[in-house]
Structure 1
């Protein structure tokens, strides 16, 4: 595996999270269109989406800390 700089890792992780979020949103949107849901269900979906985004941002910040620490150790 080739050595990657911190910026390249940032781009790779950014692309990965972007694809995951786009995939999740598209699946969520399609399922919302196919199944007509009540208002309370919509609110629950929005809450779940917000919760998912919060968790993924926390997870990605942890991953970035790990990457920064490991890159410091290499140098």
Structure 2
């Protein structure tokens, strides 16, 4: 089994580690922050830049506070 080291636990680093693992490699991620994906979480003032795949009304209904910020 190949061993892969990924430097950086951001979006690209996590995607690379997942792809490596799906192809039979042992992937290890090294990240300087205390948790993986921290920068993804803090983008958009803590609202993230990740949405779901649904119609707009379903998306607005799933926003807990201030869904108007999406406009």
TM-score, scaled to structure 1: 0.26
- The structure that has the greater radius of gyration is 1
The structure with the largest strand share of the pair is: 2
The structure with the largest helix share of the pair is: 1
